[in-house]
A = this chain, B = another copy of it.
Amino acid sequence: MSNLTLYSMPSSGNSYKVRLLLALLGRDYRHVSCETQSAELERAKAEGQLPLGKLPALHLGDGTILSESNAILWYLGAGSDWVPSDALTQAQMLGWMFFEQNRYEPVVAVRASLNTYPHLKDEATPEVMAKLLQEGHALLHLMEDHLQGRAWFAGASPSLADIALYAYTHTAGERGGFEMNRFPLINGWCARVAALPGYAGLFDHG
C-alpha cells in the first residue's frame, strides 16, 4: 500500500512525466485528476494542495508536498537506475532537465497548448505560432545533434533526462505541429523510450 497521492493534469506533459516514471518503477499511487479549466483544479488550489499553484504535486502522506515535475522525478528516482551515481553524469542529466524547463517546455509545450486548448485560441496568432515553430525546430536540432552517437541523453543508460524530454517530444508533431520527420535520431530515441519495460503512454493510465 502506497501513501503517495499525485495531483496531476491528464493532458499535461509535466504531469505525464511523473506518471511515466511511476509506471516504469511499478509504484502504486492514488491519483487526483485536475484537468485544465476544471472544478477539481480550482478545488485543489483552494484547499492548498498545490503550494506553488501548479501541477503536478506529489503528496507523500506525512504532510509533505513536492512541487515541480523534474524535482518529483528526482525524489521518486533516487536510489534507482534512473539516477546515475556519479556527480558529473548527474549534472549532465540535470543540465538537460533544466534545458527542458527553461528553454524547451516554454516553446514546444506552449505551442502544443495554443494548438489544442480551445480557451487559448485567441493567443495563437499566426505571428506567435510561426515564432514558436522556428524556435522549437532550433531546440530540436540541438537535441538531434546531441544524440549523434548516443542512445540516451546523459550517460550510457536511460535516466530522468530521457523521461523529462520525452514528455513533450513524443507529442511534438501531432500536438505541436513540429516537423518531426526532420529529426530521425530523436524519433529513434522516442521509440527506445516507448519500448522500455513498464512504459505507459500519455493516455494509457487508468
By a beta-carbon cutoff of 8 Å, the part of chain A in contact with chain B is 51-53, 60, 64, 66-72, 74-75, 78-79, 87-88, 90-92, 94-99, 101-102, 105-106, 142, 146
Contacts and interface: CB of A to CB of B under 8 A. Distances in A.
B79 A66 contact: no
Interface of chain A: mostly helix, strand, loop or mixed: helix
B78 A95 contact: no
Contact of A91 (B71, B95, B101, B146): B71
A84 to B, nearest CB: 12
A148 B101 CA distance: 27
A52 to B, nearest CB: 6
* A67, A94, A98, A142: residue with the most chain B Cβ atoms closer than 10 Å: A98
B95 A71 contact: yes
Given A102-B102, A142-B53, A71 B88 contact: no
A148 to B, nearest CB: 12
Contacts of A105: 102
A95 B79 contact: no
